[in-house]
Amino acid sequence: MTEAGNDLVAVPERVRTGSPNPITSLDAWREAWIAAKDDPDAFWLREAKARLHWRREPSEGLRGGFHEIADGPIAFFADGELNVSESCLDQHLAPRGDKVAILWEADEPGEGRSLTYRALHQEVCRAAGALRSLGVQKGERVIIYMGMVPEAAIAMLACARLGAVHSVVFGGFSAEALRDRVRDCGAEVVITQDEGLRGGRTIPLKATCDEALLGEQGVRHVLCFQRTGAHVGWTAGRDVWWHEAMSEATPVEDAVVCAAEDPLFILYTSGSTGRPKGLCHTQAGYLTWTSWTHQTVFDLREDDVYACVADVGWITGHSYIVYGPLCNGATTLMFESTPSYPDAGRYWELCARHGVTIFYTAPTAIRALAAQGDAFVQAHDRSRLRVLGTVGEPINPEAWQWYFDVVGEGRCTIVDTWWQTETGGICITPIAPATPTRPGWATLPNPGIVPALMDEHGRPIVGPGEGRLCLSQPWPGMARTVWGDHERYVATYFATFPGYYFTGDGCRRDGAGYHLVTGRVDDVLNVAGHRIGTAEFEAVIVTVEAIAEAGVVGFPHPVKGQGVYAYVVLQPGAEPGPDLQALVNNVCRAQIGAHAKVDLLQIVPGLPKTRSGKVMRRILRKVAEGQPEALGDVSTLADPSVVEAIVAGAKSL
């Protein structure tokens, strides 16, 4: 239902049970937001002490600020000591030892298993012991290249228990992408599995890992989990079976004490230069933020069955499958398959079978399932669903309304969450029991998040308006640096608008203070929730022998949200051939990953460049978006006639 004239969907009434949500009304949100803005030290210090299991409680909150970021990272709770795995596991053993911690839904419907907090604690201790026997020590980096199996979460928590720094690499990434990440973080141990399963297909994870490590001398061991039992290549002395290492370990492993600002994990994300950035998240601030946002935004209750159907290879899986839910003592569901296997009712069938109460997925999946019709949804009982979430990209109002009306039957709150790998957790969002929602709008900032919209001249926009989305105050969950390259961190996020964190997104704000995130304004594409730099695409495409130059931009896509449009210039005398686009996509898949695909490819006589040689992406974007009339002034181009040829060629695609 909506409030007349304002398109706001009212929050349904409910009876509270379980642990109290800190925010259950707009007045409570306003009070918390002002408190966190005016005194972040006290606000977050109180939350950190209440939520985390400390070896030494901190006495300070925030240290440093954005204006001093070039001199070194900011810090939260810097004098505190803890081990993250104790907050996620040990502190729950007495009150929740027999409660299901991880509910695993395997690729085939009905297959899977569950792990209680007590069983998960034992498995994590064994895995930590196995890693210790392989020589893993505090501060060392461990790459995790796995599918969506519980052992991926166990491996993450085992690293945390040892004080080792994990870096999870999405199982769809190529051997080259995996190799780059191994080298960049200096990992000496890689954890993988024989094969992954997804949508009835096998994914050769061990084979890809072996290819990535060819000639790499720095990796001492590869620990391999056996998922399918397929025959895999084996390097004696380096490779170790997970089950054999686990059988020799004990279910007891003392947790290593870490400083609050020690690194917890590195997660790589694409940048506009094409070289992935290893964003470093630290221990206590990150866990405080993910715990607080997970409980507050989703209105978490003790008996909830919470399902985030993302992948642990992305920040969503880190924050809202593993760390946030487990710190909160929740039952968290891990999903190995796809939303359309064996049919488009898979999500709703698993919601009915497991009694899911909170469901969190991406707009891309919602759009794809909506296109299949309502019958797949209505065939399954969704009466226990209470909160529906979206993540990864802006959701269009039509998909939002379908999600609300059909999936949620008009009674579930939708939390349209905006955040990034860099932010560590949810930043702008409705809070389930408190915020009136509006289709397509991320609404209000969480306490701790102070947004600022900047115009093209770098001046803050006061009141309603549209500009570049920045954040003006540190929050506990933010990434502290780029691994091994703090200068790049500062240049990427703080140089454009000094004193502010620049998100790279555009945003519209209305008179009620609601925010609508409009998408990327830098040279990074958001394709089905995967961020890929345009430079990364272009660097790969020009390795095709027939192609001399490439210009890549995004364009509106009905399912993925943003598609990939490539303009290519052929080498002199080269013939395109009928399979050029397929060839380009094969190369992109091999060098970037399975998610990297060019949707439209146009052969052009040249790219629109200034006299200094800079490609005018604005022109390429407008053509790709079907707006050639909005190209603006092209007289400053070195060869304006190129634009006419590009526009004419686009009409024939």
Cβ contact 392:363 at 8 Å: yes
Alpha carbon separation from 68 to 124, 172, 480, 490 (Å, rounded): 39, 38, 13, 10
Residue environment code for 163-190, b if the CB has 16+ CB neighbours within 10 A, otherwise e:
bbbbbbbbbbbbbbbbbbbbebbebbbb
How many angstroms separate the CA atoms of 369 and 402, rounded? 10
Cβ neighbours for 52, distance < 8 A, ≥ 6 positions apart: 82, 87, 284, 287, 288, 291, 327
Q: 149: closest CA among 206, 106, 88, 116? A: 106
Q: 362: closest CA among 419, 433, 302? A: 419
Alpha helices in 11-164 (DSSP H): 26-38, 40-51, 84-88, 93-96, 117-133, 150-162
Please report which helix (H) or strand (E) contains residue 566, including its range.
strand 561-570
CB atoms within 10 A of CB 562: 23
Q: 164: closest CA among 143, 141, 194? A: 141
* Locus of tokens 């959701």: 395
Residues of the chain with pLDDT under 70: 1-20, 271-274, 610-614, 633-636, 638
Q: Where are the domains positioned within the chain?
A: 92-259, 534-651
CATH topology of domain 92-259: Rossmann fold (3.40.50)
Cβ contact 318:148 at 8 Å: no
Instruction: Give the β-pairing of 387-390 and 358-361.
Output: parallel
Alpha carbon separation from 432 to 7, 109, 385, 412, 416 (Å, rounded): 17, 30, 13, 9, 10
The conformational region for residue 463 under phi > 0 = left, psi -120 to 50 = alpha, else beta, is left
Instruction: Give the β-pairing of 221-225 and 189-193.
Output: parallel
CATH topology of domain 534-651: GMP Synthetase; Chain A, domain 3 (3.30.300)
What residues form DSSP beta bridges with 609? 615
How many angstroms separate the CA atoms of 583 and 541, rounded? 9
pLDDT of residue 10: 42
Say how far residue 4 (Cα) sits from the centre of its chain.
35
pLDDT of residue 273: 54
* Locus of tokens 């027939």: 546
Alpha carbon separation from 135 to 36, 140, 160, 161 (Å, rounded): 42, 10, 15, 14
